[in-house]
Structure formats: C-alpha cells, structure tokens
Chain A
Amino acid sequence: MNGDTPVNSPLPADIRAAAPHALEIRGVEKSFGRFPALKSVSLQAHDKEFLALLGPSGSGKTTLLRVLAGLEKPDAGEVRFAGEDFLALPVRRRRVGMVFQHYALFRHMTVAQNIAFGLTVRPRRDRPGRSEIADRVAALLKLVQLEDLGKRFPSQLSGGQRQRVALARALAIEPRMLLLDEPFGALDAQVRRELRRWLRDLHDAAGVTTVFVTHDQEEALDLADRVAIMKDGELIQVGAPNEVYENPADPFVYDFLGAACRLPGTVTDGRLAVADWETKAPKGAPQGPVDVYFRPDEVTFAPADGAGLAGEVRAVAQRGPDTRVDCVIEGRTFELEARGPTLPAGVAPGLSLRVKPLRPRVYPVQP
C-alpha cells in the first residue's frame, strides 16, 4: 500500500501468540429497548489477525462491529485497542476503516474523490499535499486493480468494483483496524468467491487487524484466521476454522457450519447406540440419551446385511461430481451425499442398505 506498512507479518506465529492482543473486548453489553443485542461478549484479536464474526441475522455480530467502529455505545464493558481505551474515542479518532454491505460510496464524488476523502478531511497540518494525495489514490487504485476507473462515478461501476473502491477508500486512511460488515453480501456467488481470495491477499499485504462480519459460514471458514460464532447476542465458540468445524461446541454450531443430519441415540459405557447400530462413542460423549449428528457427505454405504444404520433409498440424483442419495432412516428422510461420479453397489431407488456415519458427534439432548 505504501512505504511504512510492512508487506508481511513481521512476527513468527509463536511470538504473535504470546504478544499482547491488539483488540480486547471485555464484557460488552448492549440492548436496544428491551431487546438484548449483546450479552456480555468478550473476545480478543491478535495484531494483524483476520477475525470473522459469524452468526445468523440478529445474533449481534453487526452490533459488535458497530461498537468497535464507535457507531454504537455499549451499555457496559470495555474495548481496548493496542492498550488504548477505544470507547473513550469518538468515531473519527479511532482510525478504523469500515466497509459496508451496500458500499456506502459517496454518490456525488468520483472514484478518486471517494478514495481521497479520508485524506482531504484531515486538519490542515496533517493533510498531505495535493500531489501526494493524488499519488496515494493512484497507488490504491492499482492495489484494488481499478487503475483506469478513477474518474468514474460509483453508479457507473459493478457491485464488485464498488466494493473494491470502498475498500481502497477505507485503506486510504491507513487504518489501525479494518471492519467489514458483510462486504460481499450484496454480490453474486461468482464475484464473491473471486473477491474472497483477493481480500485475504489484501489483508496480508496491508498488515492490519481485520474484523469481518458474515452470515456465510463457507466465507468465514475460508477467509479467517479465527472464527467467532455468535448466537442471540452471545459468543458461542471461537477458534481456527478447522478447529470449530471439526469440534463444534454445540448442536447450533454444528448445524450452522454445514449441512447436518440428526438422530436420537444412547450412550452407555463408551458405546453409542443408534437404532440397531452400535459403535464406539466419541471421546467425551455424555452418558444417557443423546442427539447424534453427522454430515450428510461423511457416510459410507454398505449392503443391507452389513454394519450401519438401516435405511431405504428413495431417490438418487447425479449432481456434478457428487451424487445425492435420498434415504429414509428411522422414519426420517435424509439427503445424503456420495462422493464421486460412480455410485456404490447396491445404492438404487427402492433398495435397502446400511448407512454408516464416519464421524458421528453426540450432544446431550436439548431441553
């Protein structure tokens, strides 16, 4: 971006882990009228970390982001950035670069004017000269790959281009933290995927702490260093993408992070029984009646006399590289997935078979 920001993270991962947190959120609470939007949320982010706030709508993730930006004042709690009391600072002094779902570009300004805005509104003594601003705008346009569009107006750009301008505008102020509020929410799937990798590269190059709000679990798992999953104003689980995907803390997280199948089961003395299928219970499984979860694509199919859950195939549909198998197990229909273009033997509509979940997870029965 410019000379004084490091291109790569200067600290090895192990030192970074020991370093003090750049962002410290402690016990933040916020209600709107009688609706509690945030219930005592505590969360940290390392310097230069990419943190995703993931949750369904109404989970409080956007409210938390707005608290970080200074757009909402929490009822209780503490927010520190680099040791500084962030809540005591007004929005304009926090130097956070914010990117909005609907771009929020200044419609009456050109792309170049949009990007320069944060520099031109500085008090005179801190304001860079006219030619320096122009240079920085040109560098940022290059960074977001829109070199030739500086003179256009936002209305003349596509959604993906607009969001790149918004990002360039946010980066122009050399933010200490980037806050992204569902930045790809209004874009179509193809553009989203393209921008995702690009955003991650940009984050690595710019070297800023980034907090990214999304309700798209694939996006969060793909992009972030760590994912914080929220529900009803509470933080449910925080961890690396793989960690939360492999070890969801509760059925909500399991369900939210991917397609899920659920069946009732029982755990006794380290053995898990689901209908007439018995297997070793996963580590740390609670005793007694449980809910058994498995991913529809993490199953193997076996003949009816083999081991697994007894099921009956209802329909089979080829879907690109995978095959969808609609299967009735214990009276419920599940949409299972078989990897690869060829179906295992014995999987055809109307046939009975055995379905064996590869990695079942068990949770206490929800009240």
Chain B
Amino acid sequence: MLKQVEGSAAVAEAVALCRPEVICAYPISPQTHIVEALGRMVTSGKLAPCEFINVESEFAAMSVAIGASAAGARAYTATASQGLLFMAEAVYNAAGLGLPIVMTVANRAIGAPINIWNDHTDALSQRDCGWIQLFAEDNQEALDLHIQAFRLAEELSLPVMVCMDGFILTHACERVDLPAQEQVDAYLPPYDPRQVLDPADPISIGAMVGPEAFMEVRYLAHAKQQQALELMPSWADEFRRIFGRESGGLAHAYRTDDAETVVVALGSVLGTIKDTVDEMRAQGIRIGVLGITCFRPWPRAAVRQALGNAKRVVVLEKSLAVGMGGIVANNVAASFAGAPALVHAVIAGLGGRAITRRSLHEVFGRAAEGRLDAITFLDLDQALVGRVLAREREQRRSGPIAESILRDLGVVAAKIG
C-alpha cells in the first residue's frame, strides 16, 4: 500500500510486519522514532506476541537482544551515534556468538564535539565487528532492507545492521510502498534457530576458546560473510518476485557503462549524486555512480566489475579514518586485482554538513579534468581552519578548538542549510 510517511514510521511498520518477538531499546537520545512507534504497537496489541523491553542503557539493549535471540526469539533493536559505541562490546559478542539480531542504526556523527547530525562515523566504527552492514539509499529501500535483513540474519545465523541516514531519511516524509503481511510471510519464514538455549535441553553458548581453535572460529565468521555475498543477489531476486521491486543486493550501478569517472557512495547522498550525474551527462561528461548497499561483507567482485573500465574513481564518503583518509575509499582501492584505477577520497557531510549539487558539480568536474587531489574535504572552510592553526602557533594556551572555532564563526542561526 502506498503511503506518505516519515522514514522512521515506515521502518517501524516494516519491522512489525517481520513479527519480532522481542524489541529492546534504551529510550533516550540518540534514539529513533522507530522504537517509539513499535512500542506503541506492542502496547496497543497491534504487534503481538511481542515483548517490548525498556532497558537501562544501549549496552543493556544489545545484551537483552543477545539473550532473547539465544533463547530462540526474533530480536530487534535500534540505536545511533554514541549509543552504538556504548553497546560496542555486546555488538561484537552478538556477531561472535552468531546470533541473528537485526538492528537499525540511524547514522549520526560521533563526538566530541557533541553533534547530533548525520554522518556515517557510527556504523563505520563497527565495520570489523562481524555484523552484516547494509546501507539504504531512500526510505523505500530502508523499509525493504529490514525485511531482507531478518531473512539474511536467520539463514546465516549472523546479526545484520541496517544503516539509514539519521534525520535525512529517518525524518523525511516521503512516499513508500508498504508490503502486505502475506508478502512478508511468504519471504520470511518463521525463525528456526541454529542454536537455542532451552532449559529442557541445556547447552552452553559462548564458551572460552583458546589458541587451539580461536583462529578457526574467526575464519568461519569470515567465511560466513563470504557466503552472504553469494546468497544476497539471489535473495534480492526473490524479493523482486514477491514484492515487485528492486531492493537490496550488493551494489547498484547507475550510468556507469561508458563512464570514465565513477563516483562511489553509500546511503541517501546517492540521490543527490544521481541528479548531479544526470546534469553532468547532459553536458557530455562521461560520469556514473556506484551505490554500495552491502558494505559488510565488502562486495569486492561486484565493485571491481562495476569499476573495471573507469579511468578514475571518486569515493564520496561521510566518514573519515583520522590520520589515514577515506574508509570506503580504502576498501574500493583494495578491490582492484591488478592495476588500480585512480581512487580519490572526498570526505563530505561530516556532522550534518549539507552536501549540495553545486559542490558535487565542482568536485566531480575537477575529477573529470584530472585535477582532484587524493583526499579532498568537501566545502571545508580553509580560512576558519587557518585561523585556528595560526592561534595555536602564536599562543601556547590556545584553548579548546571547538569552542574557539565557534567564536570565530559567530552567529550561525541566520544560515539556512
């Protein structure tokens, strides 16, 4: 059914259609409207049987999800930003134990300084934790990926993180096609756990494993993710058969066939990039874009195939490996078997900085002309940075950077965007 709703509301509906049995969440910022809506559905009896557990922290949220999943329940939670970091130890445990928990991460920046806005630093900080990580381009895909996530998680007995841009998607009210319960039931069979804690048939989960077998356990985690790479395209096909639309899969190429320059990105910025690519194509520039839906496991073969003929690749990412450069760019560069194409990292949109078509035109244009540096910080205020550096040279006690930079900037309330 077509509906015009907020992204969070759409995802809450999709999660409910997946018949979760335990939802746990810590009800404080950073949290999303998703669990608020699910909480209301459980209270009203619309979502049953399901237990909604208010926990005392994000660490507890993931711990409860682990317990529920190990006991054989379909478990779901959501978090963002510092909340994800606070649950990090349990996030690794969920993956290490092979428990098929599904979690939404409404992507936001990580402090300090405090910043509640969107970027991908939170999810990418957990890229090596063993969870599958999927990134949604729009709210329809966010909704669809949650349905696919439960199937993927339970089939492989691995947790799945569905990443959607905080605010930009979670708070955007746009058209979505909400599937019928019968469609979701046809795609997602009841949870049949590979391991279950049952008092009538006691086992232990999470025993100590020493040097004699730890490598093998870790290898199997890696092998399972490689298995996911093989299975995901066929599950996306099945999704299309049942739901009648393309969603999910590993990566999506747009106008890349004869492209000399290919832009790679994750998440909602792909929409703005596609509009920019269309405008540049109209000017005769051979440019295309590759959207990465599945970030973990990294779809190396799909990336290599899509970028094979490109002269240069521009990875536009909302994340920064401080002291190194682009995280996604590094993954892209590592995907080439032989001679790699020129891979440029463009760090953009950190802490909610708007990514505009105007800026994208400029930076992609520079790339197409072969004038782009290895790393670019999009729309960086060089003068502002220069003033801080000058102050640090001039005086020993130069003070906290964030506060002095705000003083330099003056009142920003009058600015739009």
A and B interact: no
Binding site for A on B (CB under 8 A): none
